[in-house]
Amino acid sequence: MRQRMTDKSGTKTAVLTGALALGLSLGAPMASAAGDSSADVKANAGTEAEMTGSITDAESADAKMEAQELVNDAVNSAEQMKNDEKLAGLLKQAKGVYLVPEFGKAAAVVGGQGGAGVLLVRQDGEWTDPAFYNFGGITLGAQAGASGGTVAFLLMSDEAVNAFKTGNKVALNAEAGFTVVNYSKVAAGTLGEADVIGWSDTEGLFAGASVGVSNINWDDDSNRSYYGPEADLSDIIAGRAQNDDADELKTALPG
């Protein structure tokens, strides 16, 4: 330790030097020369809190960006669907649509994981903002080796829309009591009393007679990052939650 001096300045220097050595040995916060130790501790704590908050904000921003990318992909899919006059007409009749822009390879999807999708519901003639869901099992009757692409399920009945209000383990298939028709049959004039119409832009994907989707689950992370931490399933489906960044998707769907 530095030798103690006889004047006041030297005394202060010696005391501070000793405090520094003691503080370093004990791992304690170091006080400033001006004696503002409590202010420094508070400032350090505030900085640490800000750093922690920035990490959380960054994670939330990433989730929101991923959700927006899904919405943007859904815009492209909706525009593609409108190019088919028959399909566009069915969309105008639909009470809702569950749109999955990219589900991956069919061989990996059948009996496995499906992908991320968005649900939009018609309320008073207008489309609601998208609600985010993931789905697991899908029955497509797919041909082996068919490539992935867009899958859409047009919800033609109130019952089909209401199934999504349960949030988790939603199923759109015969086992759940729904009549599901694949679009190729609808195009041939056999719509009947279908609750759900399945469509894909991939040739041969709906090759078989069995069409359906199961294990649809509410994507809590995407919905909260897109609409805020208080986002509620019923509010989004009812059109009470809004995000201006979804306007393009709503416009892309036939009114």
**pLDDT attached to residue 34:** 42
Q: What is the mean pLDDT of the chain?
A: 74
How do residues 38-56 score in pLDDT, each as one tens digit? 445 444 444 443 433 444 6
* pLDDT winner (highest mean) among 48-52, 116-120, 141-145: 116-120
**pLDDT attached to residue 15:** 35
Helix (H), strand (E) at residue 221: helix 220-227
How do residues 200-245 score in pLDDT, each as one tens digit? 887 656 655 567 788 899 999 999 999 999 989 999 999 999 999 9
* pLDDT at 179 exceeding the cut of 80: yes
Cα dihedral 200, 202, 208, 214 in deg (nearest 10):
-50
Comparing 116-125, 139-148, 176-185, 245-254, the range with the smallest average pLDDT is 139-148
- Of the two residues 115 and 241, the one the predictor is more confident about is 241
Q: How far apart are CA 149 and CA 73, in angstroms?
A: 11
Contacts of range 111-115, beta carbons closer than 8 Å, 24 or more positions apart? 111/137, 112/136, 112/137, 114/138, 114/151, 114/213
pTM greater than the 0.75 cutoff: no
* pLDDT tier, 7 (very low <50, low <70, confident <90, very high otherwise): very low
**pLDDT attached to residue 189:** 60
